[in-house]
A and B are shown apart, each in its own frame.
Chain A
Amino acid sequence: MADAHADLVHTEYTSTGLRSTKLAMWLFLASECLLFGGLITAYVLYRGQSTTGPYPQDVFDIGYTSVSSFVLLASSLTMVLAHNAALARDYARMRLWLLATAMLGLCFVGGQVFEFTSFFREGLTLHTNLFGSTFFVLTGFHGVHVTVGILMLLILVAFSFRGSLSDDPAFPVEMVGLYWHFVDIVWIVIFTVVYLIPAPPPHGAV
């Protein structure tokens, strides 16, 4: 029994005393910076290079996207409150905040689906122009990340109801939280670079 515990402890911690799962999560998030950095760079590189419309200024609705940003920021707050509740061993409140986070995430993804649909109706698709290609790939990848985060949150809630979370439920909540907050900081950058900084005039325009 003692050997089994020692083995578990041995695999759970690195030689630095840091928990290996947490270190792996931070390494994963660091690698994700490179992924999203590449996608954001591609978008910036091709800004104003499209030869046919629709252009960003034709389709963007800053007011609508601002509301989506507020929703995602609020979800980060509810996520951290879920972690706080888990640390206090208040599991009912933890589940409540986790569900609130998942609901806010669903609102964000729903808003993104609506935005994509309206852009599609205005003639902007993945193949229309460089703006369409880079925009849909960047924001689509982000949307997929949010969706994966929602699934992780719901799985966490289901595990919590079944009582199959580990002895320290605050730890898995913290790990899912790190992923969720990362998705939030990526959106903070996307919101500024893609939506708020005005695009240069279309290619060839006087």
Chain B
Amino acid sequence: MSSTDRRTEPDTAAPPTGPEPHVAYHPSAREYIRVGLLLIALTCIEVLLSYSSLSGTKLVVALFACTIIKFVLVVGYFMHLKFDNGRFSRVFALGAIGAFTLYAVVLLMFRVWSS
């Protein structure tokens, strides 16, 4: 497998008369492996944190920071949103941020964090 970066057109059968096909960058296998190792390292940190002396809000904040980084890495690199057409990012963000906001409001209504 080539380790060099290459540019490909994902929509190879794009209509000749339609809009310009979006040229996407695809990371190399080596870059994907680096991201995979980073994800495993972050998971190790999360597990170590859960066994550490940290507790309460500090622990939750540290764990969520790792989770958000992992989430962004997978969505950005493995799901190609970082390199793909921005419309896909907006569609997914609508669902992800919408769901987060909706359920955060539900949890606030039930005073989950104050109990």
A residues apposed to B, CB below 8 Å: 6, 9-10, 12-13, 16-19, 22-23, 26-27, 29-34, 36-38, 40-41, 44-45, 47, 62-63, 66, 69-70, 73-74, 76-77, 79-81, 84-85, 87-88, 90, 93, 167-168, 170-171, 174, 177-178, 181-182, 184-185, 188-189, 191-192, 195-198
Contact in complex: B79, A181 (CB < 8 Å):
yes
B5-38 interface code vs A (CB 8 A; 1 in, 0 out): 0001011111100111110001011001101100
A residues within 8 A CB of B22?
17-18
B46 to chain A, nearest CB (A): 6
User: B2 within 8 Å of A by Cβ?
Assistant: yes
B residues apposed to A, CB below 8 Å: 1-2, 8, 10-15, 18-22, 26, 28-29, 32-33, 35-36, 39-40, 43, 46-47, 49-51, 55, 59-60, 63-64, 66-67, 70-71, 74-75, 77-80, 85, 87-88, 91-92, 94-96, 98-100, 102-103, 106-107, 110, 112
Contact in complex: A188, B106 (CB < 8 Å):
no
Residue among B2, B11, B36 making CB contact with A77, cutoff 8 Å: B36
A77 to chain B, nearest CB (A): 4
Given contacts A37-B99, A38-B103, A181-B74, whether A26 and B26 have CB atoms under 8 Å apart is no
Contact in complex: A79, B71 (CB < 8 Å):
no
B91 to chain A, nearest CB (A): 5
Contact in complex: B70, A188 (CB < 8 Å):
yes
Q: Report the separation of the CA atoms of residues A80 and B82 in the bound assembly, to the nearest whole angstrom.
A: 14
Tally the A-B contacts, defined by beta carbons under 8 Å: 161
Can you name the residue of chain A whose Cβ is closest to the Cβ of B28?
A84
B22 to chain A, nearest CB (A): 7
Residue among A10, A30, A177 making CB contact with B96, cutoff 8 Å: A30
Q: Report the separation of the CA atoms of residues A184 and B11 in the bound assembly, to the nearest whole angstrom.
A: 25
A23 to chain B, nearest CB (A): 7
B residues within 8 A CB of A76?
36, 39, 74, 78
| Cβ contacts A to B, 25 pairs, < 8 Å | A6-B15, A13-B11, A30-B92, A30-B96, A33-B96, A34-B98, A62-B51, A66-B47, A73-B36, A73-B39, A73-B40, A76-B39, A77-B35, A77-B39, A81-B1, A88-B1, A88-B2, A171-B10, A177-B78, A188-B70, A191-B43, A192-B46, A192-B66, A198-B55, A198-B59
B residues within 8 A CB of A167?
13
Residue among B13, B21, B78, B107 making CB contact with A45, cutoff 8 Å: B107
